[in-house]
Amino acid sequence: MNVLVAGGAGYIGSHTVAALEKTAHKVVVFDNLVKGHVEAVSEQVLLIEGDLLDADFLKHVLVTYEIDAVVHFAASSLVGESMERPEEYYRNNVLGTFSLLGAMKSAGVDKLVFSSTAAVYGEPASWPIEETFPTTPTNVYGRTKLAVEGMLADYARAYDLQYVSLRYFNAAGAAEGGNIGEDHAPETHLIPLVLKTALGQRKAVQLFGTDYPTEDGTCIRDYVHVDDLAAAHVLALDHLAKDGGSRVFNLGSEKGFSVREVIETAKRVTGVDFAVEERPRRAGDPAVLVASSAAIRRELGWQPQKSDLETIIASAWAWHQKHPNGYAE
């Protein structure tokens, strides 16, 4: 298929583009380059600079490149920021997808893979979390992604649209070779912050919350390697190519690690005994988020290959060592 990857210059998008390059699919990247990096996309791939909100241009791109399917990563994705700037999140995430769906509809493109999030579950009553659990997001980011999932279900019912929505847990790690990786500004995620501290770029890791109802008092998360996420997108496209029908899947390793365990593993992998400062809880953080990924394993045959914590951290460490300032040299 001819595949348009919206947000293909971002973190998960660029790893998916690299995975798609190894398949028979033809890839075109569409990115407004506000958060994405030109350097994250190989020179072999056509990168079109544009914004999802420009539906006319988007339609022109879909028609010109005879696009069969869209993989849609383009979104604002920081929980804390979403609480302070909800308008931006509703515009980029909800209106952006609305515009994309309109362009797809008028260009006759009927297949979509959508980046959703574990944040749609809010504070779950138990775990592992299954797709049928209640969706009661506790932050604006999760609410915008859930709003889009509703829109997709409604369009799929009424029009020719088939979609796969992938609810990511904690994406981490970097591609082998250390050439592409995570580079957010500002960085807020645990693993890159820990590794920047190990590199000496930061004084200490701040540990948010030590009084959670978990064994060591810190939050438990399900970390999944970005290359395993990328592989799931390829499987989702193959499923849509076969007219397999619309689906919503969790994507996690199904293993939970506490913040202290992540810090200890990072100290072991890097060999650096960096400083850790204990801080109060960060607003909006649920205590435990661990996925059941049984549905995507069963239905699409997804098998995570790199999602043990040591491999995730070692691959991210290789990227940060090679690119201490991210893509900016």
The bridge status of strand 2-6 relative to strand 69-72 is: parallel
DSSP track, 104-170: HHHHT--EEEEEEEGGGG-S-SSSSBPTTS----SSHHHHHHHHHHHHHHHHHHHSS-EEEEEEE-E
Q: For residues 162 and 265, which CB has a smaller minimum distance to ligand UDP in the complex?
A: 265
Q: How far is the CB of 311 from ligand UDP (least distance, A)?
A: 17
DSSP track, 8-53: TTSHHHHHHHHHHHTSS-EEEEEE--SS--GGGS-TTSEEEE--TT
Is 282 one of the binding residues for ligand UDP (CB under 6 A)?
Answer: yes
- CA 151 to chain CA centroid, Å, is 19
Q: For residues 221 and 225, which CB has a smaller minimum distance to ligand UDP in the complex?
A: 221
Q: Any catalytic annotation for residue 89?
A: no
CB neighbours of 85 closer than 8 A, spacing ≥ 6?
Answer: none
CB neighbours of 278 closer than 8 A, spacing ≥ 6?
Answer: 207, 210
Q: For residues 48 and 190, which CB has a smaller minimum distance to ligand UDP in the complex?
A: 190
Residues 116-175 that bind ligand UDP (CB under 6 A): 170
The bridge status of strand 220-221 relative to strand 257-258 is: antiparallel
Q: How far is the CB of 32 from ligand UDP (least distance, A)?
A: 23
Catalytic residue, chosen from 121, 141, 155, 212, is: 141
Residues 171-210 that bind ligand UDP (CB under 6 A): 188-190, 193, 206-208
Q: Cβ distance 143 to 91 under 8 Å?
A: no
Is 214 one of the binding residues for ligand UDP (CB under 6 A)?
Answer: no
Q: For residues 69 and 226, which CB has a smaller minimum distance to ligand UDP in the complex?
A: 226
Among 219, 232, 251, 313, binds ligand UDP (CB under 6 A): 219
59-98 footprint of ligand UDP as x/- string (CB under 6 A): --------------------x-------------------
226-265 footprint of ligand UDP as x/- string (CB under 6 A): ---------------------------------x------
User: Does 186 sit behind a cis peptide bond, omega within 30 degrees of 0 on the bond before it?
Assistant: yes
Q: For residues 177 and 280, which CB has a smaller minimum distance to ligand UDP in the complex?
A: 280
CB neighbours of 176 closer than 8 A, spacing ≥ 6?
Answer: 227, 315
Q: How far is the CB of 251 from ligand UDP (least distance, A)?
A: 13
Tokens of 134: 């209640």
Q: How far is the CB of 13 from ligand UDP (least distance, A)?
A: 17
Identify residue 90 by its one-letter amino acid code: Y
Q: Helix count (H) and strand count (E) of the chain? A: 11, 14
- How many amino acids of this chain bind ligand UDP (CB under 6 A)? 14
Which residues of the shown chain bind ligand UDP in the complex (CB under 6 A)?
79, 170, 188-190, 193, 206-208, 219, 221, 259, 282, 285
**Active-site annotation, residues:** 141
